Amino acid sequence: MADFSQTDITYLAGVGPKKAEILNKEIDVFSVEDLLYYFPYKYIDRSRIYFVHEVDGNMPYIQLKGRITAFETFGEGRKKRLVAHFTDGTGFIDLVWFQGARFIEDKYKVNLPYIIFGKPTMFGDKFNIAHPDIDPYINEEERPSGLMPYYNTTEKMKNHFLNSKAIQKIMAAAFSSVVKNLQETLPEKVIQEARLMDLKSAMRNVHFPENASLLREAQYRLKFEELFYIQLNILKYTAERKSKLKGFVFSKVGDYLNSFYEDNLPFPLTNAQKRIIREIRQDMATGEQMNRLLQGDVGSGKTLVALMLMLIALDNGFQACLMAPTEILATQHFITIQEFLQGLDVNVELLTGSTKKSDRERIHSSLLTGDLQILIGTHALIEDTVQFSNLGLVIVDEQHRFGVAQRAKLWRKNVNPPHILVMTATPIPRTLAMTVYGDLDVSVIDELPPGRKPIQTIHQYDKKRGSLYDSTRKQLQEGRQVYIVYPLIEESEKLDLKSLEDGFEHIKEVFPEYTVCKVHGKMKPKEKEAEMQRFVRNEAQIMVATTVIEVGVNVPNASVMIIESAQRFGLSQLHQLRGRVGRGADQSYCILVTPYELSAETRKRIDIMVESNDGFEIAEADLKLRGPGDLEGTQQSGIPFNLRIANLTRDGEILQFAREVAQKILEDDPQIEKPENLILRKQLRKLSGNRYNWGLIS
Ligand code: ADP
Ligand code: MG
């Protein structure tokens, strides 16, 4: 049997070289198989025909049956429009075209029966339907009925007459010729166990649904399959990595951790911190290399956990390093950790882009002798010149700012790869974590240190700036400090944003009795650092900044976070920014300043922020509002594929089930080499070849 997946789409009736080229370029469809996997994005029920007198303004798409009584043209040039007066005997409605008038007038005739389909809208005091679909009315049996699929098409496709309907036609051609050769892509066993529809029926019903319940079954089968192969691949890859790579065994806890715990621990650990440390300690003792993601909301105390884990590495004769995305953060970690370790005999150094050459050389050589035990720094840590004598643990803070390639470089810093822990405050919803980080173990710190008062979040319209400044002044008078964040650095007329520079001048005028400092991304690292330090030392009470302060800055005395033009920020970014306050014992406030006019979606975002302090809840809401493709950070954290039919927000249960089925198969046949699993092997090879970039997952 010919390999059907290779069949070029030009083989299909109605697809010439020009159309094929557009399908190639616009939607990546080359073969008949590609076409089959181009799924409709929605379906509209065409089983019912309405009467014109029933039409009202709230209807979605409807069908009417009747005749055009006359055509009329209005306007000139670009404003020209063609109107067809249409009636079914119960009333009149106008059909309107703003383009293609000549074609329409040629094609459709006055007084012939047609079925028209479209969305009625109110225009003046009459209803009309713009650019309706029109089909000749033949007879009841032959008219389009049931669920009508809609395919996404681009502007370019439409210009070449490749609209949704045309795709459907090409699809029909595929079904009448090649699809009978379509081969099943899941083993019989899986189909039985998961009670799935077979592939051929699923494909037929997803493109030409017989009825709603068959459509649901078809969609379920295809979603399952998509998620199943992703899980199978990730789980197989993980198992292979674990069996191939030998990890260091951190078998004991010794003097470093014990004396820190007994003499230096500044506060009791939270239960979550204790649990995580225990969990990770066990993981680092198994002899397998650890590759773990630690999620913990802002302020949950990840730094302390990181330090204690590094001390365990030291106790087992290894070096450890901690890498942060910015110089400010690395420096802050360095200072914090030095304070934590005061009086203990641990050798810690800081390495960043601005470390002096002589210091750098000293650090390089003491790393090689093993005298230097903990190295903290930025990307500078992963340069090839940085060589360790025995690196056992790497901790990466705020992981989403590091690329996968950079992480991979860290792996090569020792003969065996060190244990790796990536820490992030951007909570990744479970479904997403399972898909993207299927091979990472995930730990979650789900508790904040005690005594923290939940931050109060307030939505304020920018017209009410007066009262906002009054309450801010009260906080300043009580000795607190204030952040004010702006979305852009320079005035942009187009976006009508408050510029940071304007804001800076304005704030200085409003609060002449206080010192205001300013930080933004275009400053040199040295300047930025100096301004930051002024705020840390409370030489400046107000910091005006862009989102550069988003990650990790820790000034417990700051109790007010004002976010200007909050409507411009995404949910997780707002949550990150808010996390800069509420780090001390004082009641803290986050004020979201927006104009009065807001879109419904923005209002919802702001409401979620006002109602919830829980990073996970916010991340889930974000995923729901924006869809996983947009989720902040996923781009950088490398979600390597677009799902074609499954939806991570809605199909969590299918994902979970698919993962279990995949797990079971691998337990029984880790290499996927049994004859009954031949299909799996073939499909995995095929998928790794084209659709997903698996190499990125690690
Ligand atoms: P994040 O998880 O956002 O990196 P940090 O590690 O910066 O959080 O911790 C936030 C603040 O909480 C720091 O000032 C830290 O010293 C403090 N902290 C950490 N653990 C505890 C604890 N168990 N009890 C009280 N305060 C803690
Ligand atoms: Mg942190």
Range with top average pLDDT, 122-131, 223-232, 549-558, 621-630:
223-232
Task: Give the ligand whose atoms come closest to the C-alpha of residue 551.
Answer: 2
Residue nearest to atom 9 of ligand 1 (CA): 301
Q: How far apart are CA 485 and CA 588, in angstroms?
A: 16
Q: How confident is the model at residue 143 (pLDDT cuts 50, 70, 90)?
A: low
Which residues, other chains included, contact 631 with Cβ-Cβ below 8 Å and sequence gap of 6+?
432, 572, 619, 622, 623
**pLDDT over 60 (residue 694):** no
Please list the residues that pair with 96 across neighbouring strands: 83, 130
Q: Which ligand is nearest to the CA of 582?
A: 1
When pLDDT is cut at 50, 70 and 90, the band that residue 401 belongs to is low
Which mutation among 261, 267, 448 tests ligand 1's pocket best, with the greatest number of atoms within 8 A of CB? 267
Cα diameter, the chain: 96
Q: What is the pLDDT of residue 16?
A: 92
Work out the burial of residue 588: count CB atoms within 10 Å of its CB; fewer than 13 is exposed, 13-18 middle, 19 or more buried. Answer: buried
Strand pairing class (120-123; 481-485): unpaired
Residue 403 confidence (pLDDT) above 70: no
Asked if residue 462 has pLDDT above 70, the reply is yes
In this predicted structure, what is the pLDDT of residue 472? 96
Question: Using an 8 Å Cβ cutoff, are 525 and 353 in contact?
Answer: yes
pLDDT at 491 over 50: no
Please give the domain boundaries of the chain with CATH numbers for all domains.
48-145 (2.40.50.140), 255-445 (3.40.50.300), 456-612 (3.40.50.300)
Ligand 1 atom 15 nearest Cα: 301
Do residues 663 and 238 lie in contact, with contact meaning Cβ atoms separated by under 8 Å? no
Q: Which residues of 198-228 are buried (b: 16+ CB within 10 A; e: fewer)?
A: ebeebbbbbbbbeeeebbebbbbbbbbbbbb
**Tokens standing for residue 55:** 């039409």
Cα–ligand 1 centroid distance for 304 (angstroms): 7
Residue 589: strand pairing partners? 456, 560
Distance 75 CA to ligand 2 centre (A): 63
Mean pLDDT throughout 37-63?
84
Q: Which region among 86-90, 218-222, 489-493 has the lowest average model confidence (pLDDT)? A: 489-493
pLDDT confidence bin for 402, thresholds 50/70/90: low
Stretch 458-481: mean pLDDT: 93
Is the pLDDT at 631 greater than 50? The verdict is no
Q: pLDDT value at position 407? A: 62
Question: How far apart are alpha carbons 506 and 511 in whole angstroms?
Answer: 9
Torsional class of 146: left (φ above 0), alpha (ψ -120 to 50), beta (otherwise): left
Q: How many whole angstroms from its chain centre is CA 262? A: 42
Task: Tally Cβ neighbours within 10 Å of residue 241.
Answer: 15
* pLDDT attached to residue 691: 42
Name the average pLDDT for the chain: 85
pLDDT band per the 50, 70, 90 thresholds, residue 431: low
Element (H, E) at 535: helix 525-536
Span 530-583, pLDDT tens digits: 888 899 899 999 999 987 665 556 788 999 999 999 998 888 889 888 988 988
Ligand 1 center from residue 264 Cα (angstroms): 15
pLDDT digits (tens, 9 = 90+) for 157-209: 988 889 998 999 999 999 988 888 888 999 999 999 999 999 999 999 999 99
Contact status, residue 328 vs residue 377, Cβ threshold 8 Å: no
pLDDT at res. 4:
66
Dist. CA 273–CA 689, nearest whole Å: 42
Q: Mean pLDDT across the stretch 462-477?
A: 92
Q: Among 270, 294, 303, 575, which is best to mutate for testing ligand 1, by the most ligand atoms less than 8 A from CB?
A: 303
Q: How confident is the model at residue 497 (pLDDT cuts 50, 70, 90)?
A: very low
Q: What are the tokens at 684?
A: 């995995």
pLDDT at 77 over 80: no
Residue 500 has pLDDT above 90, yes or no: no
d(CA 317, CA 330): 24
- DSSP 3-state of 645: coil
Residue that wins the pLDDT comparison between 284 and 695: 284
Ligand 1 interacting residues, C-beta cut-off 6 A = 267, 269-270, 273, 296, 298-304, 425, 449, 554, 556, 583
Among residues 397, 386, 414, 396, which one has the least CA distance to residue 247?
Answer: 414
pLDDT of residue 390: 94
The pLDDT, as a whole number, for residue 611 is 93
Give the C-alpha separation, 483 to 559, whole Å.
8
pLDDT, residue 686, reads: 82
10 Å CB burial of residue 511 (0-12, 13-18, 19+) is middle
* Greater pLDDT, 14 or 276: 276
Q: How far does residue 300's CA lie from ligand 1's centre (Å)?
A: 6
CA 53 from centre of chain: 46
Mean pLDDT score, 76-94 = 89
Residue 220 confidence (pLDDT) above 60:
yes
Ligand 2 centroid distance, CA of 328 (Å): 12
Give the atom of ligand 1 at the shortest distance from the alpha carbon of 298: 3
**Per-position DSSP letters for 182-233, written without gaps between them:** PPP-S-HHHHHHTTPPPHHHHHHHHHS-SSHHHHHHHHHHHHHHHHHHHHHH
| Percent of the residues in the chain that have a pLDDT greater than 90, as a whole number | 48
CA atoms within 13 A on the CB side of 226: 23
Roughly what angle, to the nearest 10 degrees, separates helices 600-611 and 615-626?
170
The dihedral formed by the CA atoms of 398, 400, 406 and 408, expressed in degrees to the nearest 10: 100
Taking the CA atoms of residue 492, residue 498, residue 504 and residue 509 in that order, the dihedral angle to the nearest 10 degrees is: 130
For residue 554, the ligand 1 atom closest to its alpha carbon is 7
CA gap 67, 89 in Å, rounded: 9
Ligand 1: residue whose CA is nearest its atom 25: 449
pLDDT band (50, 70, 90) for residue 144: low
Mean pLDDT of 408-428: 79
If one residue of 260, 294, 304 were mutated to test the ligand 1 pocket, choosing by the most ligand atoms within 8 A of its CB, it would be 304
Q: For residue 336, which atom of ligand 1 is closest to its CA? A: 16
Give the mean model confidence (pLDDT) for residues 60-66.
87
| Residue 131 predicted with pLDDT over 80 | yes
The pLDDT value recorded for residue 533 is 85
Outline where 92-197 has alpha helix (H).
101-107, 155-159, 164-177, 188-193
Asked if 129 and 121 touch (Cβ cutoff 8 Å), the reply is yes
385 versus 399: which is more confidently predicted? 385
Query: Closest by alpha carbon to 335, among 529, 479, 481, 518?
Result: 529
Distance 509 CA to ligand 2 centre (A): 33
Please write the tens of the pLDDT for every residue from 305-356: 999 999 999 999 999 999 988 787 888 899 999 999 999 999 999 999 889 9
Expressed in angstroms and rounded, the spacing between residue 293 Cα and the centre of ligand 2 is 14
Is residue 357 pLDDT above 60, yes or no?
A: yes
Element (H, E) at 309: helix 302-315
Task: Give the closest ligand to the alpha carbon of residue 274.
Answer: 1
